[in-house]
Homo-oligomer: A and B are copies of this chain.
Amino acid sequence: MEWGSRWRCSLYFRSVQTALDSIETPAGRIESALGGAATYGSVAASLFAPVHLVGVVGDDFPQEHIEFLKARNIDLAGLQIIEGGQTFHWKGDYNADLNTAVTHETRLGVFEHFEPKLPDHYRDAQYVFLANINPELQLSTLRQVKQPKLVLCDTMNLWINIARDHVREIFKNVDIAVLNDGEARLLTEQDSIVVAGRQLLRSGPRIVVIKKGEHGALMFSEDGIFSCPSYPLESVVDPTGAGDSFAGAMMGYLAKTDDLSPHNLRRAVAYGSVVASTTVQDFSLNSLAALTPEVINQRYAAVKAMSEF
């Protein structure tokens, strides 16, 4: 497998914005732990392929997190570290069903004036993951990439609510849009996920993946609908980063295999689902960081076996 000529750049929202999360769930709480869409997405993708991260943190960002990311073969040339700046911090908890995040506090810090800038050696990236961030920044990042082979974007309800037109604009410029069922309903104003998925497919991306948490994910494309179950978990510790891990693993697998056939796209969704199932089993990146190829393969086989008839 030749990696030298393929680059993957993970543009994020929360590595910028999080780096530091304080979260409370029924299973416990953490203070100022490593988080962020780019962090989750990059670490998940790094399970499959080398990653080039774009983001911003303040100089309060702990050196141990830098070392952790470097040790995962994640290129940090695109990570701006702002002298005297404060890393984005999100504080929140979840409702009892663990599906709905409740924000208690958001400190933008260095994120307020962030302008993503790709180092020259990132601009040849073929696999581009525009992780959850302001859609205008997603677009300005994408414009710096010369000739991407596959572009995937994520988003969130915040941007759909306050920047719907820009979300629609970025959707016109990507190959794959990944969002959860609530976001799909919000963006399309449709109750039916089937209607929403098909409508989004007509709005630009040639592939739309709608994540449904414990109910798995649906992928809409010319190939029809693919339904991928979730790996069956008896409990969830912290859902933070599940969606970022899903999309990161999906892109990492596609970059590794460099195969965009319908069948391989299905496999990529299943890997996304498997890696996300790990993320939610502990706070922060604890379980994701400990994930081994053996566990990935075991869970992938289990999800495949669950689907066969």
Q: Which residues in A have some Cβ–Cβ distance to B below 8 Å?
A: 96-97, 191-195, 198, 212, 214-216, 218, 224-229, 232-235, 263, 266-267, 269-270, 302, 304-309
Q: How far is the CB of A266 from chain B (nearest CB, A)?
A: 4
| A235–B309 CB distance below 8 A | no
Tell me what chain A mostly uses at the interface: helix, strand, loop, or mixed: mixed
Q: Which of A212, A266, A270, A309 has the most CB of B within 10 A?
A: A309
| Sample of 11 A–B contacts (CB below 8 Å) | A192-B233, A194-B232, A194-B234, A195-B234, A224-B302, A224-B305, A225-B232, A226-B306, A229-B229, A267-B309, A270-B309
Across the interface, name the chain B residue whose C-beta is closest to A230: B227
Q: Which residues of B contact A307 (CB under 8 A)?
A: 227, 307-309
Across the interface, name the chain B residue whose C-beta is closest to A270: B309
* Of B212, B224, B232, the contact of A306 (CB 8 Å cutoff): B224
| Contact of A309 with B226 at beta-carbon distance under 8 Å, contacts A214-B193, A215-B215 already known | yes
In the bound complex, how far is the Cα of B302 from the Cα of A306, in angstroms?
Answer: 17
Across the interface, name the chain B residue whose C-beta is closest to A233: B194
Given A192-B235, A263-B309, 11 new contacts (CB under 8 A):
A96-B191, A192-B233, A194-B233, A198-B234, A216-B227, A224-B305, A225-B232, A226-B309, A227-B307, A266-B308, A266-B309
Q: How far is the CB of A149 from chain B (nearest CB, A)?
A: 22
Q: Which residues of B contact A195 (CB under 8 A)?
A: 234-235
Q: Which residues of B contact A193 (CB under 8 A)?
A: 214
Q: How far is the CB of A305 from chain B (nearest CB, A)?
A: 7
* Of B96, B267, B309, the contact of A228 (CB 8 Å cutoff): B309
* Of B212, B234, B304, the contact of A192 (CB 8 Å cutoff): B234
| B305–A309 CB distance below 8 A | no
In the bound complex, how far is the Cα of B226 from the Cα of A229, in angstroms?
Answer: 9
Across the interface, name the chain B residue whose C-beta is closest to A235: B192
* Of B192, B224, B229, B267, the contact of A227 (CB 8 Å cutoff): B229
In the bound complex, how far is the Cα of B80 from the Cα of A197, in angstroms?
Answer: 48
Q: Which residues of B contact A228 (CB under 8 A)?
A: 309
Q: Which residues of B contact A302 (CB under 8 A)?
A: 224
Leading 8 A-B pairs by shortest Cβ distance: A227-B229, A266-B309, A215-B215, A194-B232, A307-B307, A227-B306, A195-B234, A194-B234
